[in-house]
Structure 1
Amino acid sequence: MPLIVVQLRSHDFLCRNIFKLQPHASALYGGSCSIQLAQARSASSVPLHPSYSSLCTPIMLCSTIVNRVFGQINASAISPAGVRCVAMSASGTRRVAVVGGGVSGLHCAYVLSKQGHAVTVFDMGKFAPGKTTWKGLQFDHGLQFVRPVSDAFRAICEEWLAAGALARWDEEAAVRYDARSGTATPRAQWQQQQQQQQQGAASDAGFLDVLDPGPLYVGCPSSDAITSHLAAASHAAVRNDVKVAKAVYDASSRKWLLEGAVRSPSRTLSDVKQQPPVTPWNLGVFDGLVLADKMTGCSGTPGYVELSGTTAGNKMQQAMSQVGSTPLLALLMAYQPEEVPLEQQAAAAAAAGQDAQQQQQHAKPVLELPFDAAAVVNSQEIQWLCMDSRKPGRARADGMQCLVALSTAEFAATLVQRASDGSLPRQTPELLAKMVPPMFAAVQRVLAPLLPDGKLREPGFVQVHRWGAALPAKAFGSACLKAQTAQLAACGDFCLGGGIENAVLSGQAAAEAMCEMLAAADSA
């Protein structure tokens, strides 16, 4: 018997010709959110579990109730072909799912929300702003800085700056560091040298062109502040630790039906009750779908989303799977300051005209580098060094120094052995621990000209993080991908190229394309 599902308000649905509910059906759910299920001859009221409030859709509700009340009915019998989803809210709001909670997906959600659409963001990772490890340390092991180039992205950065998600970084914080000679060339001086060279001459502006002209920003108090701001400002429902496994497009109703599961294991009965039911379409029914992570199109990867019902979507995923990723390795090191002997404290206080007890500098840094950050040249192993604890808003009262080093793509390739099918090995603690010695030795070789004895002190804390999709191996050259006939779009740095600016502008383009597709679907 086909289901006819009509959406009246955000969580109220009128379902006709479903099945006659058993008297005990109302005991299956708790909470105050009311779902009205009416049949031709009678009506019953079934409260909905509060954890479903952001997930519930007509299809999920019907299949869930049918499965729980009538165990003999196979859930597969309720297929998209037997379902009609009609009558959206009078306001014209459309529901859009964004799979991928990176900066591209979240900016896409932000733009869609500003246009009045209801957006749900699904991401497999945990949403935990700031990277805390040993003794509350924080490292930016991914995004290192923001350097806007286009006027459009400059305007976006100004918004982030006003919201406190960004902080201005001294334009001279980054230098060009020659690993052979140990020479550090200030950014402004390097730019002047480039202007004096012949036009068209090749130049190396360093990691992500950090040495080129333009203001520099960093996330405040960490790079995760940007995504945190976007998630809050968009008012989107952000579902972390959720794996979207399948997305079915129903051409008759022009709806996307999403199926998936919570990835993290439940530890308490309360957690179990808060998880969405594992039934077909349990993640919701949506008017539009945005794939904001390249992995959603790569079969065999944890992030892959199986699309069905749209040939155009399958072709899009095939194109996404052809875009390779270039991994990088980040070495995170922390140094505790050395205690200064009392006699040296007294001498320093006397020289400064202070009493010994007034002298506050009782410790000295272990690493005294002539820069806060450096684009490294003449090294086949390390391309970027940054004293993370010197970034704006990250000074530590205990004087701890936090240093981040990024490998070159070539060096990472030698340490990260891909499988025969080109996939990366699972990022286990044991695997990452094996990469610490070669990465530490590489950093020591790069900094050797600046060290008194050419040796780098052993840090109090050291860890390697693999940035698996640091940069796309190639890009499409278009702002986003879209399938007009299925209200489907894809965005990310694989569209325009690596870097946060390209990722954000791609997300904006996908949001604008989605608005156009939804408007076209309404008028059809």
Structure 2
Amino acid sequence: MNQPPSVAIIGAGMSGLSAASLLRETGLNVTLFDKSRGSGGRMSSKRTSAGTFDMGTQYFTARDSAFSATVDAWLAAGWVAVWQPRLFRYDEHGLHPSSDDQRRLVGNPRMTALSRALLADTPLHSSTRIEQLQRDRQQWRLVDTEGESHGPFDQIIVAVPPAQAAPLLRAIGSLSGPAERTSMDPGWAVALGFAQPLNVPFDAVFVRSGPLDWIAREASKPGREATQNWVLQSTPAWAAGHLDDSPEQVIQELTQALAEVLGQRLPDLSFQQAHRWLYARPNETSDWGALAAPDQGLFVCGDWCVGGRLEGAWLSGQQAAKALLERL
């Protein structure tokens, strides 16, 4: 009896998980590899002594009909929930309510809940950074930074940021070229736990002045603990100028920026932590959807292939998986 084709997916963020879920449904043998300790990529939640903080993606929206239908299924399963924050905006006119009323969704009870649900029982090699792809006759082997070889696999999907994808794709110009020409902006995220509640009328703020880009109260999201935890995210421009700052410096500057936005003295902190995202978001819009070298059994996906956003990552993963299936 013939075995179903084997597929290795490098990257267990949303695009990789999206591709994996579709391929798994068709009966293919799928194995995921990720340099982090778990799945989710920028759908990252950090569990700390002070509670949980969503350090990456804060929420997502659904505009595409196929993605909207999938989100409805996730809602029914309880993997995600609708978040209706008291949303404000801060700009040259100060703090004022935002008129943005689009539906926002979050993982329930944390962002990583969605990635873990999508992962299901798919084998995942975590804390494994793949640094080389080797063509072995009509199959592929993956070599990690420890020199260990994985495979062989019949097909490969690369679902990592372009700076990490380009070295893997170097032998195939049609794939490496777009990756080499695409860059992503960095970002800093800061988790703050306060000893006392902040006296503010909002749950989240779009910041359009200064180093901050976003402010959110964690407890306002469905399923979260009743804490005084907040997450701050910097602008890409500020992060680019402070990439080598220490976490302590970043926390100090962004906390001061928060105080300036609020126009008040902040309560004492009971917890503080910073995380640097080297590849936080694509800095330009692309419409590739996914990239493919079908004759080589090599496919590429990611939010950077289709204009950013979590929805784009899901759509890109679906397109890569469908392109792969068409060649079988």
TM-score calculated relative to the size of structure 2? 0.91
Q: Within 1, Cα distance between the matches of 2:213 and 2:77? A: 31
Report whether the alignment pairs 1:125 with 2:36: yes
Q: 1:372 aligns with which of 175, 194, 203?
A: 203
Corresponding residue of 1:296: 164
- Tell me how far apart the structure 1 counterparts of residues 50 and 135 of structure 2 sit (CA, whole Å): 45
Q: Which residue of 2 aligns with 1:159?
A: 73
Deviation sequence 1:282-316 (CA, Å, 0-9, x none) = 311011000000243244xxxxx376xxx4x3441
**Whole-angstrom distance in 1 between the partners of 2:169 and 2:299:** 15
Report if the CA contact (8 A) 2:88-2:202 is conserved. no
Task: Answer whether contact 2:52 2:225 (CA < 8 A) is retained.
Answer: no
Inter-partner Cα distance in structure 1 for 2:238 and 2:309 = 20
Conserved? CA contact 1:108–1:507, under 8 Å: yes
1:217 aligns with 2:48: no
Distance, in Å, in 2 between the alignment partners of 1:136 and 1:121 is 31
Aligned partner of 2:127 in structure 1 is 241
Corresponding pairs, count: 323
Aligned 8 A contact 1:174 1:375 in 2: no
1:317 aligns with 2:231: no
The sequence identity of aligned pairs, in percent, is 29
Provide, for residues 101-129 of structure 1, a one-character-per-residue CA deviation record: whole Å limited to 9, x for no partner. Answer: 11110111111111110000000100177
1:490 alignment partner, one of 300, 307, 315: 300
- Report the alpha carbon displacement of residue 456 of structure 1 after superposing the two structures with TM: 2.0
**1:383 paired to 2:210:** no
Report if the CA contact (8 A) 1:103-1:226 is conserved: no
- Tell whether the 8 Å contact from 1:119 to 1:237 is kept in structure 2 after alignment: yes
Letter of the 2:14 counterpart:
V
Q: Secondary structure at the match of 1:283?
A: strand
8 Å Cα contact 2:14-2:115 kept in structure 1: yes
* Alpha-carbon RMSD: 2.0
- Where does 1:49-448 land on structure 2 (aligned, <5 Å)? 89-90=1-2, 93-127=4-38, 130-133=45-48, 135-170=49-84, 173-186=85-98, 190=99, 211=100, 213-232=101-120, 235-250=121-136, 253-260=137-144, 282-294=149-161, 295-299=163-167, 305=168, 311=171, 313-337=172-196, 366-377=197-208, 379-396=209-226, 400-416=227-243, 431-448=246-263
Q: Distance in 1 between matches of 2:81 and 2:22?
A: 22
Structure number with greater Rg is: 1
Counterpart-to-counterpart distance in 2, 1:174 and 1:376: 14
Query: CA separation in 1, counterparts of 2:318 and 2:270?
Result: 42
Instruction: Describe the shift of the 1:315–1:380 C-alpha distance in structure 2 as closer, same or farther (beyond 3 A).
Output: same
Q: Which has the higher strand share?
A: 2
Check the 8 A contact 2:211/2:257 in 1, yes or no.
Answer: yes
Matching residue of 1:16: none
Q: Which residue of structure 1 lines up, in the alignment, with residue 289 of structure 2?
A: 479
Distance 2:272 2:312 in 1: 31
CA contact (8 A) 1:182 1:447 kept: no
Where 2:152 maps in the other structure, the secondary structure is strand
Q: Which one scores higher on RCO, CA 8 angstroms, separation ≥ 6?
A: 2
Structure 2: give runs of 5+ residues left out of the alignment: none
Question: Offset of 1:182 from its aligned partner?
Answer: 4.0
* Per-residue deviation, residues 484-520 of structure 1 (Å, max 9, x unmatched): 2101100001101121000110011001011112x2x
Deviation at 1:481, TM superposition (A): 0.4
Q: Partners of 2:89 and 2:33 in 1: how far apart?
A: 41
Distance 1:319 1:154 in 2: 28
SS in structure 2 at match of 1:132: strand
- The normalised TM-score by structure 1 is 0.58
Q: Determine the C-alpha separation between the residues in 1 that align with 2:185 and 2:7.
A: 30
CA distance 1:306–1:501, change in 2 (3 Å): closer
Unaligned runs of 5+ in 1: 1-88, 191-210, 263-277, 300-304, 338-365, 418-429, 449-453, 520-524
**Kept after mapping to 2: 8 A contact 1:382/1:446:** no
Decide which moves more: 221-230 or 120-129. Answer: 120-129
Which residue identity lines up with residue 395 of structure 1 in the other structure?
E
Q: Distance in 2 between matches of 1:374 and 1:512?
A: 38
Distance (whole Å) between structure 1 residues aligned to residue 50 and residue 192 of structure 2: 13
Taking structure 1 as reference, are residues 314 and 297 closer, same or farther at Cα in structure 2, changes over 3 Å only? farther
Secondary structure, counterpart of 2:201 in structure 1: coil
Aligned to 1:27: none
